[in-house]
Amino acid sequence: MSSTTSTRKAVIPAAGLGTRFLPATKAMPKEMLPVVDEPAIQYVVAEAAKAGLDDILMITGRNKRSLENHFDRVPDLEATLEAKGDTDKLNAVRQATELGDLHYIRQGEAKGLGHAVLCAKRHVGEEPFAVLLGDDLIDERDELLSTMLETQERLGGSVIAVMEVPQEKISAYGVIDANGQDKVTGEDGKPADVVPVHALVEKPPVEEAPSNLAIIGRYVLHPAIFAELEQTKPGRGNEIQLTDALQAMASKPAEDGGGVHAVIFRGRRYDTGDKLSYIKAVVTLAADREDLGPDLREWLKEFVGQI
């Protein structure tokens, strides 16, 4: 579903050092690690494009060249495939180059997610914009970003995506306090899908987590966030945290771009941020594919019987 809102810009931070995947990421950004047969970053760019965001700014760091190359045309390779009549591969190669206008900017210093987003200030200007984190993949069959864009247009301020996670995992995320409203049921008896956010805290200890609603890597931000980020002091991990800037925005008046709402996502999300989750993501997505799924599922059953 393509969005009907006027938001056009997406920011994708891709400057992380990828140390969890060394040595694979020694000479290659972690965003280029393949998830089945596409680099992880391509899923994220495709998700943005599908929601109508066709102006995409990547905040890159070292090794940005392979990212740029991946989303660029390769005339000689395309000519070879064309001459061979290999249209499947030709389409696969071209797919990444047709997703929108891509722009790149370097973060320079790795000072945290908040700092990476601040690097987008000049490019974004005065419009609301989306931020998509590459470690989180949202299943293309499930809807999230368009809902967030529409929610932002309807309610103003900023909109984040959250998901219920088991208590023992909560400290790996930013966590929201929705004043218990996540449990409020609407008229049709379903849990509320959009809740006002009263407070946000970055990676709290389990006993201090205000809820089990974890921030997942999708945001639609009011441009007033930039002025806030400029004043945000380093927080957890001595990094400038987007969560801390959003915490300040939550209590600001609407006329100053304040207010934060959370869309509760109940679909399929794959985490590619650490080795085990990454392997699970690759297996899950491959098992669902028409071309690979039947054989892989068969083999997985055999394999599980042996361990």
Contacting residues toward ligand G1P, per CB under 6 A? 113, 133, 135-136, 173-174, 202, 214-217, 241-243, 273
Q: Please, are residues 105 and 120 in contact by the beta-carbon 8 Å criterion?
A: yes
d(CA 131, CA 117): 8
CB of 119 to ligand G1P, least distance (A): 16
Give, for 160, the enclosing helix (H) or strand (E): strand 158-164
Q: How far is CA 198 from the centre of its chain?
A: 22
- Select 16 or 52, whichever has its Cβ closest to ligand G1P: 16
CB of 243 to ligand G1P, least distance (A): 5
Strand partners, 260: 158
Other CB atoms within a 10 A radius of the CB of residue 196 amount to 16
- Select 177 or 202, whichever has its Cβ closest to ligand G1P: 202
d(CA 120, CA 105): 8
CB of 113 to ligand G1P, least distance (A): 5
- Select 32 or 137, whichever has its Cβ closest to ligand G1P: 137
How far is CA 145 from each of CA 150, 172, 263, rounded to the nearest angstrom? 9, 22, 10
- Select 15 or 282, whichever has its Cβ closest to ligand G1P: 15
CB of 242 to ligand G1P, least distance (A): 6
d(CA 27, CA 283): 25
CB of 44 to ligand G1P, least distance (A): 12
